[in-house]
Amino acid sequence: MTRRQVIMVSACALGAGCRSKPDAPRPTVEFTRIPQADINGSDRHDIIEGKVAGAREGQKIVLYSRSGAWWLQPLLEAPFTRIQPNLKWRNATHLGSDYAALLVDAGYRPERSIQTLPAVGGLVAAVGVTRGASASPSPTLQFSGYEWRIRTAVSNRGGRNNPYSGENAWTDPSGALHLRIRKRGERFECAEVALTRSLGYGTYSFSVRDLSKLAPEITLEMFTWDYSGAGQNNREMDVVIRRRSSAPIQSARFVVQPYQVASNLYEFNLQAGDFSHAFRWEAGQIDFTTSKKGNGQHAVAQHKFTLGIPTPGMESARIALYLPNSASQHPAEGEVVVDRFEYTP
């Protein structure tokens, strides 16, 4: 032992204040949105959200849903959930009886299914577990034979943070879906619905009533979105309809994200009338078609994309009515009616 070490030991023995540093608080994982419980296992899915405390740089979240065993979420090929700068996290998950979120270090390799959750230690920094909720955290509706989740959280689409209301989406006695933008107090609340299951490759068709009387800048979008698909531009494919304030008629666009790539966007004008908007998604290509309804249907626009086509994952079809950033100066109320959604494998 060196002379310096002897002096330090002696000083501590004399009570001179040699104290170990207090332990840093242990990291924790919390849930802020808990999907409903489904004890049978299901192809239905929902959004799960939470936050962490005490996380270190490079750590990520690993999600599991329990259906008998614990199953890795959302996908085997996308096993990690990113922690945002504000320490919140969000992803999709298949429904189960219980949900778990593991805070893990880089190098952790999750298993597809496990009987028992890992204990804290090694590359596992924290484990959070919760029972599934007794009901869906979002209101739902039935439309065209499918269950749809109604958005109630704020969303930035079109460069504007829009609030959404569960009261702005409903079906009428004929089964048609109504979406509206309504002013409440000083804010305009929008509408969006999302399928609670993934359909994958196939034809997605939306039958929409005449939009020619819709106020300028109000935007109708029919699209797919996947929280787990960040590596594939969230598996987003869009039909977007809007009339600019400076334009006499509406324009529409077919999009495969990212839209900033010129070859990923096709635009055309849309006259008054009822239309069917559809896209056929296959391996390596997407065919979009807009057809005028009436005595038979005839296509008014068609386009095929073959570059950057995503593969199926946890995407869900969605329909949104919202105000883009260009409507900030003169927002307006509005309503659209979607008569029918159809999917064909």
**For the segment 236-256, what is each residue's pLDDT rounded down to a tens digit?**
999 999 999 888 899 999 999
The predicted pLDDT at position 145 comes to 98
Q: pLDDT at position 22, please?
A: 52
With respect to CATH, is domain 28-131 assigned 2.60.40? yes
Q: How many CA atoms lie within 13 A of 20 on its CB side?
A: 3
The ranges assigned to domains in the chain are 28-131, 140-344
CATH class of 140-344: mainly beta
Q: What is the pTM of this model?
A: 0.90
Which strands form 265-270's sheet, in the order they lie side by side?
Answer: 140-143, 146-150, 191-195, 316-322, 219-225, 237-242, 250-256, 265-270
- Mean pLDDT throughout 44-69? 96
- Full 3-state SS string of 57-75: CCCEEEEEEEECEEEEECE
At 7 the pLDDT is: 28
- Which phi and psi angles does 203 have, rounded to 5°? -105, 125
Distance CA(170)–CA(189), nearest Å, equals 15
User: Taking 90 as the threshold, does the pLDDT of residue 11 lie above it?
Assistant: no
Q: Tell me the residue type at 224.
A: T
**pLDDT confidence band for 23 (50 / 70 / 90):** low
Separation between Cα atoms, residue 52 and residue 121, nearest integer Å: 17
Residues 102-152 pLDDT 10s = 999 999 999 999 999 999 999 999 999 999 999 999 999 999 999 999 999
pLDDT digits (tens, 9 = 90+) for 312-325: 999 999 999 999 99
